[in-house]
Structure 1
Amino acid sequence: MYLAIREMRFAKVRYSLIAIIMLLVAFLVLFVTGLARGLAYDNAASIQNMGATHFIMEKNSNHRFTRSQLNEEVGGQAGLIAGQENVQPLGVKMTVMMAEGTTGKLDVTLLGINPEGWLMPKVTEGTAITSDESGQVVVDRKLKDSGIGLGAVLVDQTSGLKWTVTGFVSHESFSHSPAVFLNEQDWEQLQLKTAPRPGSDGAGEGRIYNAFAVKANKHQVEQLVTAFPDSEIVTKSEAVSAIPGYKEEQGSLWMMIIFLFIISSFVLAVFFYVITIQKSSQFGILKAIGTRTAYLARSVALQVLLLSTGSLIVSTLLVQAIEAVLPDGMPFQLQISTLAYTSGAFIAMSLAGSLLSVWKVTQIDALDAIGRSAA
């Protein structure tokens, strides 16, 4: 450690330039990671926030809510296996709405739920909807930016149905569109308007939902699979991944992050390899007076570790400062767990990049290095 720190103090400019480059790369890695996590959450916040472990969907729906249709009888049968309190109906419909009296259109996702069930999110402003009163909804706070306030009347462009906003919830979205929660009665009216079934009122057929959210253990899941051969039992992660655009968006962003890791590793490897070549004579002299090769190799690795750790600390502070001034509508999420494994991966890649320099140190011959120095 003494040799590593002393050398860094002696060649301040050289190591400062390396530190700046590492700081910029670390900042870019953390910022893009925060954007990736933020976009992932914004794309599927409503599903991720649900306490369900699995979803029952129609077979061959490719795990997509909007492609699935199930009769409410499925929920009743599933309740006999997992418990009625552990099964909740879920309707999902992406649509366009307008505030009454305005011409501006809003892309939203309607979620039909049981307001007294555990799928109902916490209302942060206003009052929650109930099963007894129809024509009321709670909406995500994003709609506030579009001028939607408490008491506003929303009109569905497809069905013509109207709902009054009674409350707001936070961080509820589906496929990047704000969520609008309505009760089962309103969901049934929406279904009758947009996809009418045989008969005047659909009597005897029951309500149609896109899925049923389930809290189930491994044994209960196996029973559900057997009980519903014409349906699919989908995990929450599978349902999230099947949301349109989710995998493609995340795949592109994570590919960028991986390449940033690789680039930072190569840049660091080149810098330290060149520095090691320049110091070959000094390393040779140190070896000649008895300094062990392992000590010199540890010195190089320690320099990389100090530089990468210092760069990460500064870049983390910069990212947090920028996050504080980002607009509310910009999806950015960098949790402690994400920060920890990203930082660990960055340090690991930096140390991997130093292996070339370490190998070069072990190959230096003391007599040859002294001879070159004397010449």
Structure 2
Amino acid sequence: MFLAINEIRHSKLRYTLVMGVMFLIAYLVFFLTGLAYGLAQDNRTAVDKWNADTILLTEEANDNLNMSMIPIKTFDEVEADEKAYLAQTAGVIQGEGEEKIDASFFGIDRDQFLAPAIVSGEMFSSDDEAVADSSLRDQYDIKLGETIKMAGNDKKLKIVGFTDNAKFNVAPVLYTTIGAYQEIRFESDNVTDNTRINAIITRGEVQTIPDDLEETSISSFINALPGYSAQVLTFGFMIGFLIVIAAIVIGIFIYVLTMQKAEIFGVMKAQGISSRYISNSVIAQTFLLATVGVAIGLIATLGTALVLPEAVPFQVNALFFAGISGLMILIAMVGAFFSVRTIVKIDPLKAIG
């Protein structure tokens, strides 16, 4: 470690460049990870809020919530520890301003477990009221008590409450009654036994399932969300390749620096300094450069997260960031072992000339 630190002090510019490359790659990896995680969460946070085990959809729906249409009377035929019905549709809303906003509407029963936790305001109590995701307040400045209207529909809803982390397919969710859902989707508020819902959500054990319904785990349902799996895989491969590239780059830098110092290492070996001592120095040097570069990249990413606008789906996951940090440092260390092999093969007499 003594030799590694002193060599870095002696050649500040050279090792600063190596550290800078590591920092830039680490910053890019962390930033992409935050974007990938944030975008993935924006697809599913409303589903995660259910804290449910399974979802019942029609067999023909192929795990697609929009394609599942279930008569509401079927709800009584399902026997489970806990159950709740859900009607969902996409829509476009407009507040008191001119901006149009894509949204997702959840028609629920306020007395069932799908009712969200309220962070401000109160739960809806009529077909003309709704509870909205807080992003409508923070990003679009829609206020408590404000009335929103549907694009292409005469239906209006008063925002009486806000809840956190309620997005579905990257759109903020508005919770309202089945009657309001009927008006938004079918332009009719007549709720009968044949009124259609999209799914029945369950917790615990399900005892009885009607023949025309299919039980799917919540995790499988999330993976089947349009574009979700493809998005996660795409970002996962990008981040993985960047980590490997970072390791290769740092390995190449260390290898080139080692070859440039072959004569110096030869003199050191001729003086009786062991190959093991020199190799440990190179490994310690790589560890320092990689650790500092990754740490600065992580700090820069966290700083960037503080100034990003609300519209950017960036979220910090401490576990992911810690794992990626350790992996980048570990793979960089593996790359340094190629330099160690070169050091061991150095012949003192040939190196001195």
Q: Flag whether TM exceeds 0.5 (same fold).
A: yes
Which residue identity lines up with residue 349 of structure 2 in the other structure? I
Q: Percent identity?
A: 28
Q: CA deviation at 1:370?
A: 2.6
Superposition map of 1:29-108 within 5 A: 29-78=29-78, 80=79, 82-83=80-81, 86-99=82-95, 104-108=99-103
Q: Which residue of 1 aligns with 2:196?
A: 208
Q: Give aligned pairs, total.
A: 352
Query: Do the aligned partners of 2:148 and 2:159 also contact (CA within 8 Å) in 1?
Result: yes
Residue of 142, 152, 156 corresponding to 2:150: 156
Secondary structure at the counterpart of residue 148 of structure 2:
strand
Q: CA deviation at 1:182?
A: 0.5
Cα distance between partner residues in 1 of 2:100 and 2:44: 22
Residue of 275, 285, 299 corresponding to 2:267: 285
Unaligned segments of structure 1, at least 5 residues: none
Secondary structure at the counterpart of residue 179 of structure 1:
strand
Q: Which residue of 2 aligns with 1:346?
A: 328
CA-to-partner distance for each residue in 1:287-322, whole Å, 9 max, x for gaps? 344444333333222211111111122222212222
Secondary structure at the counterpart of residue 214 of structure 1:
strand
Query: Do the aligned partners of 2:266 and 2:351 also contact (CA within 8 Å) in 1?
Result: no
Residue of 291, 295, 312 corresponding to 1:330: 312
Query: Do the aligned partners of 2:47 and 2:168 also contact (CA within 8 Å) in 1?
Result: yes
Q: CA deviation at 1:38?
A: 1.1
Q: Which residue of 2 aligns with 1:250?
A: 232
Query: Do the aligned partners of 2:108 and 2:176 also contact (CA within 8 Å) in 1?
Result: yes
TM normalised by structure 1 equals: 0.84
* Structure 1 residues 13 and 104: alpha-carbon distance in aligned structure 2, compared to 1, 3 A threshold: closer
Which residue identity lines up with residue 134 of structure 2 in the other structure? R
Q: CA deviation at 1:332?
A: 0.9
Secondary structure at the counterpart of residue 4 of structure 1:
helix
Which residue identity lines up with residue 119 of structure 2 in the other structure? T
Query: Do the aligned partners of 1:281 and 1:370 also contact (CA within 8 Å) in 2?
Result: no
* Structure 1 residues 372 and 362: alpha-carbon distance in aligned structure 2, compared to 1, 3 A threshold: closer
Superposition map of 1:83-232 within 5 A: 83=81, 86-99=82-95, 104-130=99-125, 133-144=126-137, 145-157=139-151, 159-190=153-184, 192-193=186-187, 203-205=192-194, 207-216=195-204, 220=205, 227=209, 230-232=212-214
Cα distance between partner residues in 2 of 1:16 and 1:109: 49
Cα distance between partner residues in 1 of 2:98 and 2:17: 55
Cα distance between partner residues in 1 of 2:28 and 2:147: 43
Which residue identity lines up with residue 336 of structure 2 in the other structure? S
CA RMSD of aligned residues (A): 2.5
Secondary structure at the counterpart of residue 39 of structure 1:
helix
Which residue identity lines up with residue 39 of structure 2 in the other structure? L
Cα distance between partner residues in 2 of 1:62 and 1:285: 71
Query: Do the aligned partners of 1:95 and 1:158 also contact (CA within 8 Å) in 2?
Result: no
Cα distance between partner residues in 2 of 1:333 and 1:74: 39
Cα distance between partner residues in 2 of 1:352 and 1:228: 56
Cα distance between partner residues in 1 of 2:4 and 2:141: 60
Q: Which residue of 2 aligns with 1:241?
A: 223
Secondary structure at the counterpart of residue 158 of structure 2:
strand
Unaligned segments of structure 2, at least 5 residues: none
